[in-house]
């Protein structure tokens, strides 16, 4: 791999694409050249990188010649159509969609958990689901220490996980409610302002949603733990940024709060914020735009054997998406 790679961002104008560009700059990723790719309607617009204006180019099947690493965040259909073409052109794709996550030939990577899996890629590496990535930042270190059997979890997911239009929808609806106007909705099936929706992604015949099953399916693959089980309810909340997850985890070995805190203090990419007496616990307001996730509200689970409850919060546009993708690119350079 070229040590000053030619990098492309596919879906550069989206919420995650913009964070990818910022993250490459903030982490001083050794970009030799940056190419920004988007839909035909965005072509010709400019975005800033390292103080210079870069012109967006239209994504075509010939966009990838000479590109070393392509960070994709333009949805599953675009990834399925273009990622194999990019890989065939000699580019390594880091894909943020769900298109390839369950493909046995594609590594699914959270660098703090399974960085070594980057080594066996054949042109495409998958970025995990945002809620799964944020949960694993706290769960995997515990798994290493105590052996996780199963989790029960509820997510509190920010609207920016849906994209820029959802941020606008929440903003608009808050104004409509406050001013006594009729509420209009385009992105979500119900009003999101001053409401919570127990509905993220599409429903499966089981009654779970696709999003809810990602924690079990992706968790098994990332942690190399095929017996891992996760029962999850995913909820959209009227928060702009940062997902939070309430987790009850059951372990093979006995666990104590003191031992769990010690594990968290030594876990990469994770900050322990757990001082309820002084009203300190992780919150989306304070994890937004932060690289590290935060964990707190740590207590023994009173309904499970060898159980621990915790609350983890993290910026889903960063650790859940853009930051994780750039960290994978950093692993490629090693």
For residue 31 the two structure tokens come to 């970009």
C-alpha span between 202 and 199 (Å, rounded): 8
Strand-strand pairing, 57-58 and 33-38: parallel
- Alpha-helix residue ranges (DSSP H) falling in 266-322: 284-287
For residue 104 the two structure tokens come to 């046995």
Place of tokens 């000699």: 90
Residue 311 near residue 245 (C-beta atoms within 8 A): yes
- Element holding 166 (H helix, E strand): helix 164-178
C-alpha span between 40 and 78 (Å, rounded): 13
- Element holding 233 (H helix, E strand): strand 229-236
Catalytic residues: 130, 243
Exposed e or buried b for every residue in 213-249, given b needs 16+ CB within 10 A? bbbbbbbbbbbeeeebebebbbbbbbbebbbbbbbbb
């Amino acid at each position: 791999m070229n040590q000053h790679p030619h990098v492309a961002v596919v879906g550069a104008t989206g919420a995650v694409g913009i964070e990818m560009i910022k993250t490459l700059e903030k982490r001083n990723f050794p970009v030799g050249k940056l190419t920004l790719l988007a839909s035909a309607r965005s072509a010709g617009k400019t975005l800033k990188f390292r103080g210079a204006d870069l012109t967006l180019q239209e994504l075509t099947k010939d966009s990838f010649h000479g590109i070393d690493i392509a960070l994709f965040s333009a949805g599953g259909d675009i990834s399925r159509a273009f990622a194999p073409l990019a890989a065939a052109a000699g580019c390594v794709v880091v894909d943020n969609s769900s298109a390839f996550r369950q493909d046995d030939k594609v590594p699914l990577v959270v660098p703090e958990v399974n960085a070594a899996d980057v080594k066996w890629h054949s042109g495409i590496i998958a970025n995990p689901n945002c809620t799964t990535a944020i949960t694993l930042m706290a769960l995997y270190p515990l798994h290493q220490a105590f052996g996780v059997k199963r989790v029960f979890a509820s997510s509190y997911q920010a609207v920016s996980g849906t994209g820029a239009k959802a941020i606008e929808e929440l903003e608009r609806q808050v104004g409509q409610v406050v001013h006594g106007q009729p509420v209009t909705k385009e992105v979500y099936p119900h009003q999101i302002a001053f409401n919570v929706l127990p509905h993220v992604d599409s429903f499966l015949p089981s009654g779970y949603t696709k999003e809810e099953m990602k924690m079990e399916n992706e968790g098994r693959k990332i942690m190399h733990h095929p017996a891992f089980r996760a029962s999850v309810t995913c909820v959209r909340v009227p928060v702009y940024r940062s997902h939070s997850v309430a987790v009850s985890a059951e372990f093979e070995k006995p666990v104590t709060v003191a031992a769990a805190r010690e594990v968290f203090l030594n876990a990469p990419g994770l900050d322990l914020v757990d001082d309820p007496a002084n009203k300190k616990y992780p919150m989306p307001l304070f994890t937004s735009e932060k690289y590290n996730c935060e964990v707190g509200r740590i207590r023994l689970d009173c309904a499970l054997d060898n159980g621990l409850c915790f609350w983890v919060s993290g910026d889903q546009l960063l650790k859940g998406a853009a930051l994780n993708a750039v960290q994978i690119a950093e692993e490629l350079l090693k």
